[in-house]
Structure 1
Amino acid sequence: MATPLTAARLLAALRAEGVTVVERPGWRTHNRDHTGLWGPVNGVMIHHTVSSGTASTVALCSRGRPDLPGPLCHGVIAKDGTVHLVGHGRANHAGGGDPDVLRAVAAERYGTRPPPTGEHQGSPGAVDGNRHFYGFECVNLGDGKDPWPAAQVEAIVRASAALCRAHGWSAKSVIGHLEWSNRKPDPRGFTMPDLRTAIARRLAERPAEPGSPPAAGPGTPRHHPFPGTAFFRAGPSSPVITAMGRRLIAEGCSDYAVGPGPRWSDADRRSYARWQRKLGYRGTDADGWPGHASWQALKVPYTP
């Protein structure tokens, strides 16, 4: 179990994992916290929407229905692989479920599937899933025929891995709605064991050692691995600093009068603080000293 990520850290974790994110206005404070607790969190739950069309689905998941107020999840994963953030905090997505499943997920101790669920919303032994799970709604009709494009499946894997990596969870912290409630069929069209296998592979990928280029296939952009905060605090002179500064300028986060240059400077730190604020960091989290998640999101080209 864990304390829920702040909105800023959630956004940074997704971007660091290579997820394309769209922020719906007001998502950071859109929640159902007034109706019950949010956290501790134990995992991620995957759903299908029984709908088509990105814009209409995002709007529905944000506002909800007359019988179920929104947000209906934290993020909507579109067919093109874009993740639309619609809420942060308690969301109406999981409902009641099986306490045996919650215990198995929290302990990350089960085989290919969690124990069979025998509970649902309103049943005597059900526990509150809205308190304990992040939720992603994935645009799909849920009829077993509507396709799951590779970009969408990859986004599901990356978004799930981002939250697992941020909390130190394994892939066993990711479940489907059908594994939580005995009245739910979603997601339909792929199996959760297969999805967890893909998430586990993603989590097994380790960042390259500082100073070494990450592996990349033909035509794949190569980004410089995070060299560690101590690298910047030492006031280095390195082409990495120049490459970082150019990326900050490209992101509209420049506080440079001239440059950037290879020597770490106050202008670099002020510019990087702008980048942190752009990601949603506030206060001491936006002090201008690079951290792993914000660096990964910046995608600084590899500089030998």
Structure 2
Amino acid sequence: MASPLTPARWRAALRAEGVRFTEYAGWTTRGRDGATGRIFGPVHGVLNHHTAGTDSLAIIAVKGRPGLPAPLAHAYLSKSGVLVLVANGRANHAGLAARNAYEAILAERPIPRPDARSGTVDGNDVLYGIEVENLGNGKDTYTRAQYDTWVRFNAAVCRAHGWSAASCAGHLETSIEGKPDPAGPVAGYGGRGPFKLTMDRLRADVAERLRHSPGWNPASQEDDEMPAYVNLGVARPYALRPGAWDSIEFTEEWSDEPGGHATDGAVFARGAARFTGSVGLRFEGLPVGGVVQVRMSEYEGGDIKADHPVHEIVGTGGDTFGVVPLTKRLAAGRGMRVRLLNQSAQPVTVSSAVLTALVWRES
């Protein structure tokens, strides 16, 4: 019998395993226990899902879906590879699990095809859930960074509880409704090139991690040079007025090997390069339903050369938090900025902006 991880144990387990993560405001007390009268735990495994959508963080954490109140998982994983902790209590992610599949997870043995005739168990009571950003259409690809964090997350939970990788399952392995997730192509992992995701493959990679110490890293591709680590922020809150795009001016740098990025102001990467990461934003005073748009823009000098797709952060009242993935290839001579557009009718305060990224220089 395993009691659910406390917030302190979550943080310790993820950090030890090398998981890059952030925390969605209020996650330590978020859950469906009080609303349902059902207590989360004891826990017996990790159930893995794909979101079947894009930019799903707010849906998973606080919005939910029609007929399915949030939270919809305990953790959310964007394509940037940065995990977000969204709930610590009971979450609506698993639904009814076939008893024959559940008992196999409990016993850490191969999972048979789920059979409703064996009976059912409410998986929301006994399984952690992670939602991984992917359209689930068989074409949308999990990034290298995303899959690496996915493996580390499962290993971190298993290691914290003393479980084997057999305690990791996919929704398709437990669902009596024929759920297909998780599925899709993976860009690569360690020294491996593109491959198709299967739960057997994911479990094998988790098992490999568990054979090593938590700080272990898989061998990387030989042609991947060491990336630069960029970790930037703003020194103090500032006002974002409505109606005009405004670049974030990064004025703080936190890194073991500072690269002077903060002295570049708004530019966080210069080409030719490729990068992957995320920017976490917190706003004060954004009204409920109000929107701040976030986008990356390519500059040459002071001129905009390309705008990338918009992400929207919707006000929830009080402090509003969002994480936006940053993954692009940047041409030579160009610099990349993060820009914000306040679409509400009143000024809001950018109380925090923290950017983390890995940048590979290209010749």
Q: Residue in 2 aligned with 1:62?
A: 61
More strand per residue:
2
- Mapped to 2, the partners of 1:19 and 1:156 lie a distance apart of 9
Give the drift of 1:66: 3.4
- Mapped to 2, the partners of 1:215 and 1:101 lie a distance apart of 30
Shift in alpha-carbon separation, 1:207–1:14, aligned structure 2, 3 A:
closer
Structure 1: gaps spanning 5 or more residues? 209-213, 222-246, 251-304
SS of match in other structure, 1:71: coil
Structure 2: gaps spanning 5 or more residues? 185-196, 229-254, 259-363
- Mapped to 2, the partners of 1:142 and 1:60 lie a distance apart of 16
SS of match in other structure, 2:136: coil
User: May I ask how many residue pairs the two structures share in their alignment?
Assistant: 211
CA shift digits 1:144-189 (9 cap, x unpaired): 1001111111111000000000000000000000001132100011
Asked if structure 1 preserves the Cα contact closer than 8 Å seen for 2:31 and 2:71, the reply is: yes
Give the drift of 1:105: 0.8
> Which ranges of 4 or more aligned residues in structure 1 deviate by more than 3 Å?
214-221
Q: Residue in 2 aligned with 1:75?
A: 75
Tell me, yes or no, if structure 1 residue 157 matches structure 2 residue 151. yes
Q: Residue in 2 aligned with 1:254?
A: none
Q: Residue in 2 aligned with 1:38?
A: 40
- AA aligned opposite 1:46: N
Q: Residue in 2 aligned with 1:178?
A: 172
Q: Residue in 2 aligned with 1:104?
A: 104
- Mapped to 1, the partners of 2:139 and 2:79 lie a distance apart of 14
- AA aligned opposite 2:47: M
More helix per residue:
1
- AA aligned opposite 1:177: H
SS of match in other structure, 2:207: helix
- Mapped to 2, the partners of 1:193 and 1:133 lie a distance apart of 18
- Mapped to 2, the partners of 1:197 and 1:26 lie a distance apart of 34
Asked if structure 1 preserves the Cα contact closer than 8 Å seen for 2:96 and 2:121, the reply is: yes
- Mapped to 2, the partners of 1:151 and 1:192 lie a distance apart of 18
- For the aligned residue pairs, the C-alpha RMSD in angstroms reads 2.7
Tell me, yes or no, if structure 1 residue 25 matches structure 2 residue 28. no
Tell me, yes or no, if structure 1 residue 139 matches structure 2 residue 133. yes
- Mapped to 1, the partners of 2:133 and 2:153 lie a distance apart of 15
- AA aligned opposite 1:93: H
- Mapped to 1, the partners of 2:183 and 2:30 lie a distance apart of 28
Identity %: 49
Q: Residue in 2 aligned with 1:169?
A: 163
TM-score (norm 2): 0.54
- AA aligned opposite 1:156: W
Shift in alpha-carbon separation, 1:207–1:43, aligned structure 2, 3 A:
closer
SS of match in other structure, 2:31: coil
Greater shift in the superposed pair: 4-13 or 74-83: 4-13
Give the drift of 1:216: 9.6
